[in-house]
Structure 1
Amino acid sequence: MNAVLSAPGVLGAATITYVTAKDVMWLLGCKENKAYKTIREINQIAKEEGQLAYSQGKASKYIFSDKFRIPMEVVDSVIAQNRG
C-alpha cells in the first residue's frame, strides 16, 4: 500500500487547515465555552484581514498559531492526534 502512496501522480492526504473547539481546548487547556469564544475571535480576525472565515466551530490554524505563539508543529500534532 505504501508503494501506491508514493507512486508518481498520486496526491498525498489533504492538509487540514483549521482547528476545532476540541483542538483549542487541548492546546490552551481551556473549557468548551472559552474554546468557542476563541474560535469566534479568530474568525473575526480573518474577516478583518480580508480572508474567509471558517464555518461554525472551526478557525484557521495559521491565525490561531500566530495569535497564541504556538509552533505550527505542535498545532499539527494535536490536530493529527484528535483526528487519528
Structure 2
Amino acid sequence: MNETMVMSIVKEALYTSMLVGGPILILSLVVGLLVSVFQATTQIQEQTLTFVPKLIVIALTLALGGNWMLQELIKFTTKIMSIIANIKG
C-alpha cells in the first residue's frame, strides 16, 4: 500500500461522508436559519423553538433519502473491503 493509494482512500472517504451527510446538514442549516429569522421578526426568544423543526426535517430527510445514503455507504464499504482483501502483506 503506497501513499497514493492511502490518499485516494482518504479522498473517497471524505467525498462519501460529504455526499451522505451533506443533505442533512444543509437542510438543518436552512431550517435553523428560517426559524432564527422568524424569531427575530416576532421577537420570540425561546431557545428550544429551533429543535423541533430541525428534528422533523432530519427525520424526513432520513426517511426519504435513507435508502440512497445506505447504498452509498455500502458501495464505499465494499470498495474498502476489496482493497483490504487485495493487499499483499
TM-score of the superposed pair, with normalisation by structure 1: 0.34
Structure with bigger RCO (C-alpha 8 Å, 6+ apart):
2
Q: Please state which structure has a larger fraction of its residues in strand.
A: 1
TM-score, structure 2 length as denominator? 0.33
Q: Greater CA radius of gyration, 1 or 2?
A: 2
More helix by share: 2
